[in-house]
Amino acid sequence: MAEQTEKAFLKQPKVFLCSKKSGKGKRPGKGGNRYSKNVGLGFKTPRDAIEGTYIDKKCPFTGNVSIRGRIIAGTCHSAKMMRTIIVRRNYLHFVKKYQRQERITFINSDCNFPLR
């Protein structure tokens, strides 16, 4: 089974674990019961999402989350939270009244896909 480190039993909602088959079908990962999907938008599904054993319901490849809105790029400011990183994005904003640009720092917490 997957890494059971939480107090609740972790399982993927779209995978039936109580089948009467024995052997490869019981364990997740390579050759076993594992749900993964193609999220589109030019992103390939990582091999760890297809063959891995982790379970994350907020992962776009193995969970129930859809990618929507804008895809932003930035630098990783902090990675101390579990499966979450703080992304820092610096950009210039033009103020029409003063005909100047101001420098803005945007800090956002985003989901980090657990690669191993």
Q: Model confidence over 90-102: pLDDT tens digits?
A: 999 999 999 999 9
Measured between alpha carbons, how far is 89 from 97 in angstroms, rounded to an integer? 24
- Determine the pLDDT at residue 32: 65
Measured between alpha carbons, how far is 2 from 22 in angstroms, rounded to an integer? 17
- Determine the pLDDT at residue 26: 53
Q: How high does pLDDT run on average in the chain?
A: 79
State the alpha helices, DSSP H only, in the chain. Answer: 47-51
Measured between alpha carbons, how far is 106 from 94 in angstroms, rounded to an integer? 15
Pairing of strands 100-111, 84-95: antiparallel
pLDDT of 106 over the 80 cut? yes
pLDDT band at residue 116 using 50, 70 and 90 as cut-offs: very low
Measured between alpha carbons, how far is 53 from 30 in angstroms, rounded to an integer? 9
Measured between alpha carbons, how far is 58 from 55 in angstroms, rounded to an integer? 9
Report pLDDT digits (tens) over 42-59.
888 888 888 887 888 778
User: Mean pLDDT lowest for which of 36-40, 79-83, 87-91, 103-107?
Assistant: 79-83
3-state secondary structure of 47: helix
Q: Model-level pTM greater than 0.75?
A: no
